[in-house]
Chains A and B, each alone.
Chain A
Amino acid sequence: MAQSLDRLRESPSQTAGPYVHIGLTPNFGGIGGVYASDLGATMVNDKTKGERIGLKIRVLDGTGTPLKDALIEIWQADADGLYNSPAEMRGAADPNFFGWGRCPTDMETGLCTFETIKPGRVPFRDGRLMAPHITLWIVARGINLGLHTRLYFSDEEKANAQDPILARIEHRVRVPTLIAERQGDTYIFDVHLQGEKETVFFDS
């Protein structure tokens, strides 16, 4: 017998279930008066630096039906590519941009809308710049472990072509599943949980 490494095991995940709104967006779910506002509902203010953009995101199941009980969180760098996080060692991020947002899918349409800014580029582990992207984390009834993926931007073709994460996708036909389509100032992004257009999810 060798020495014990004395490591613990991560707590196993369980689904967020159908009533995730009660815990994470109670005001949206109809429980008013406990919290002043839902966390992550507003991402930008008048002083936030950067290009204002909207995101319209849906999550579709294996039949193509939009989920109406999912919840999406996003995490992104500021306009200069800096994260508002203690792990950011390259400099101070925009104090007017927290970088994190949370949105439940609309109970009628399944649409999730974020008002944010377009992030700057963040370095990969070896220092090369990754293309601008937003990290997504998706939970819902029927999803046993929160799904991690990224949203890239259709008008960043050159940067996307050099992105080290996109480059790792073996089946090139799947790359477009991570690229949101620009329409005016809004990016449209459908997350497919299954099927031919299944989104590339991450194990990272």
Chain B
Amino acid sequence: MQAESGSNRVPETGAFFQRDRTWHPPALTPNYKTSVLRSPQKAPLAFDNTLSEISGPVFGHAMLGELDADLIHNFARPGESAIGERIIVYGRVLDERGVGVPGALLEFWQANAGGRYRHKKDGYLAPLDPNFGGCGRTISGADGGYAFRTVKPGPYPWPNGPNDWRPSHIHFSIFGHGFAQRLITQMYFEGDPLIWRCPIARGIPDKAAIETLIAALDMQATIPFDARAYKFDIVLRGRRSSLFENRLEGN
């Protein structure tokens, strides 16, 4: 057993709440064409979490570099910075019980302000920004809070339909405390009309679920004359209390 240094929290060992698969996009969303040949068609095998799903690795703050949460500077030449609308993205990682998740590893990646990714497979004609790499990471604090600085990514066309455009978005990968909480999702921006035309966002059946992925502009969290702020909370699977269950080690 290991704990973050300085932490005296009792580790939780309960199983996670059943995942509501009707809330997530189904595997097959034909309007998002790549899903057609990549979607499992047979029913998944259901079982309550074992220790293999309940447990998970711990990433300590020591692994983070000084600029990991600053996409404006972490790829830029000394004294320079990425081009685009300067924003701060902040929020909390919570679980379905409404409890903050401390120590969660968040990794994010995105296109630059023109909608171009620094990736050999992206051939969009918008230029690369020599000062923008597009990746960042951080670890949530004691209350589950996190923040990073970046430029607002641009929308871009993609080869799905003849004229499909992705709304501005930031990809998020989140590691909670158990491997069963592992999640990748995307953050969208309040007011973007492309969200409701996007085959990937609209793969989520419930409009209310899509809305939980739309970050809110928060003028109270801006830095005047510097950067605007968007608030984006992320919810991971909740954990059952193990108080009245057989202890895993008790047999």
Contacts and interface: CB of A to CB of B under 8 A. Distances in A.
Are A and B physically bound partners? yes
Interface of A: 6-24, 26, 29-31, 33-36, 39, 61-63, 67, 69, 73, 75, 77, 83-92, 98-100, 122-127, 130, 133, 135, 137, 139-148, 150, 165, 168-169, 174, 193-194, 198-204
Given A14-B200, A90-B249, A26 B35 contact: no
A126 B47 CA distance: 13
Contacts, number: 291
B114 to A, nearest CB: 15
A97 to B, nearest CB: 11
25 contacts: A7-B238, A8-B235, A10-B24, A10-B183, A11-B235, A13-B184, A15-B34, A15-B35, A18-B122, A22-B118, A22-B135, A30-B118, A33-B133, A86-B3, A87-B178, A90-B248, A100-B57, A122-B50, A123-B251, A144-B26, A201-B44, A201-B45, A202-B45, A202-B47, A204-B46
Contact of A165 (B40, B44, B47, B182): B47
User: 6 closest Cβ contacts across the A-B interface?
Assistant: A127-B251, A23-B109, A142-B34, A86-B11, A85-B55, A142-B38
Given A10-B237, A22-B118, A203-B46, A145 B20 contact: no
A98 B56 CA distance: 10
Main SS of the interface on chain B?
Answer: loop
Interface string B65-108: 10110000011000000000000000000111110000000011
Contact of A84 (B34, B49, B57): B57
A110 B21 CA distance: 29
Contacts of A199: 40
Contacts of B47: 165, 168, 202-204
Nearest to B52: A135
Contact of A83 (B27, B55, B108, B185): B55
Contacts of A67: 38
Interface string B107-144: 11100000001111110000000000111010000000
A146 B184 contact: yes
Nearest to B250: A127
Interface of B: 1-3, 11-13, 19-21, 23-27, 29, 32, 34-42, 44-59, 63, 65, 67-68, 74-75, 94-98, 107-109, 117-122, 133-135, 137, 171, 173, 177-180, 182-186, 200-201, 203-204, 209-210, 212-213, 234-238, 246-251
A187 to B, nearest CB: 17
A26 B55 CA distance: 26
Given A23-B171, A87-B51, A202-B44, A144 B37 contact: no
Contacts of B135: 22-23, 26, 31, 34-35
A193 B23 contact: no
Given A145-B25, A200-B45, 15 more contacts: A7-B238, A9-B209, A15-B186, A16-B173, A17-B186, A19-B119, A22-B109, A34-B133, A62-B37, A98-B57, A133-B52, A142-B32, A143-B38, A199-B40, A204-B50
Contacts of A139: 184
